[in-house]
Structure 1
Amino acid sequence: MSWRVGIDEVGRGPLAGPVVAACVPDLPELKSLGVDDSKRLRPKQRQQILQAMDNLGIPRGIGQADPVEIDQIGILKATFLAMERALEDLERKTDRVAAELLVDGNQDPHLGRPTRCIVGGDGKETCIAAASIVAKEYRDGVMTRLGERFPGFGFERNSGYPTKEHLAGLQAHGATPEHRLSFAPVRRAVVAGRHHRGRQAEDRALSELQLSGLELLARNWRGRRGELDLVFRDGEELAVVEVRSSAGEVGALESLANRRKWNHILRATEELVQRLRLHDLAVRFDVVTVSDGQLEWYEDAWRPTR
């Protein structure tokens, strides 16, 4: 036995959280419930409609695609994936196949069923409107729980959309595992956060090494061949210091002898020695890591191979 099924999604525009799709069969009982586009209903009205659907035994299918999937395949394909999962969920629960899909919007998700795309469908077809309510309430619940796990972004209020509160949280805390790194505002916040943390780490390293008696010769020295974070005179040695804001990166740094990063540092150091006439000093390469307020200084952490 088959039936028509309405499908809608929510969560394409947010910077965080999943995109969620829902599907609801086109049953006559829906018309008596006051079903309308979820955006036109207050939360209490949506919840009352869901409860009434439960009381009448109206089934629903729900599917989602998480932020990692969104970043990997893009938001449009992730939306179609969520719709596919929602349809599979409904057909598994009911053991009935959809004879026709009524999809909100103008893009066919190609789910292997006869499909009619309806622009503004959540205001025209009751089953699509019901699907929009199911998807909205489900996703709001997900975002409320994420708000408890990741305070400071207001997920429970903004559902991951780019409100002032959310953007301020990104600037202050950086991205969470639930953020969509492929979305430009998140990407910009991540880059800005790295720059900010890097600058703070350099400030801390500079202060600590000067207290240890080293004489600063250059900071963020940029030559034709590369850039150096901090350069000190330490007695008869020239200490070239690479600063990292995570202690977990030390192992990787120690293994970079043949990588481009250290080659750039080496070439920039050679240029600095030439320009500042520091040939009488022995050169060493240090690493300073700053993580969670803890500073570690690794003297002579890397030696170039000739």
Structure 2
Amino acid sequence: MNAQLKNVLINVLTWALVLIFFFPVFWMFINGFKPESVASSINPKVFFTPVTDGYQLAMDRGMAGYLQNSLTASVTATIISVVIAIPAAYALSIRRVKSVEGALSFFISTRFMPLAAVVLPLFMILKTFGMLDNIYMLAIVYGAMNLPVTVWMMRSFFLEVPFEIIEAARVDGAGLYRELVRIVLPLVLPGVAAAALICFIFAWNEYFLALLLTSSAARTTPPFLGSFVDGRGQFLAVLSAAATIAALPVIIAGWVAQKQLVRGLSMGAIK
């Protein structure tokens, strides 16, 4: 097999995989513009008269409020995770602390525990302090939940900074704050953007805690989407419309930050 034929086969296989993974998203998108009778039909239809009833019904059920809660929780959680992870990762990479391997193992081990094992004590603590159904407390929980992954990512980015630059800054009299904020952070901004985007996506998509720790005032978009499936059946048209709206913020954020995301995720990949 010559190289040209091999490249053609690889391209065909790549596009086939892309289409396979993209098709459910495409089907969800077009289902949002179908009448409910057509979307729920046993015989799927590609050609139909588009309507916006699904989007109207989703907004009539108060989806704007759930989107606002998701945005508040996700942005706040991202800020919390990144702000805490930067000095922590700096200490674990450039300003080495003792037993760095143990600290890293502890950070990542907290992600191994299933959420079902911690939700009951977390529920009781929040209930005791009257913080259930509070969007900012949910954001703090999300921030803490995403912190280990953020620290690990940020540490790999900091390790890519040439130590000669840091030494030169120290010779010039730079203190810890200036060294971190003025010298190191500008060099790892793509990594910070990548870590922030991943934290945002994790918080935006979280379902389990949002379902159990909120009821109405702080309920986010994922539990709201689940409310369209009940004993009366699956309302596919309105569910597809609502899911399309819910996916837009993440798609837009990824599209805006795609250059920084690619650069950030590639940091640390090659030594």
Q: Same fold (TM over 0.5)?
A: no
Pair member with larger Rg: 1
Structure with higher RCO (Cα < 8 A, 6+ apart): 2
What is the TM-score of this pair, normalised by structure 1?
Answer: 0.21
Please give the TM-score of this superposition, normalised by the length of structure 2.
Answer: 0.22
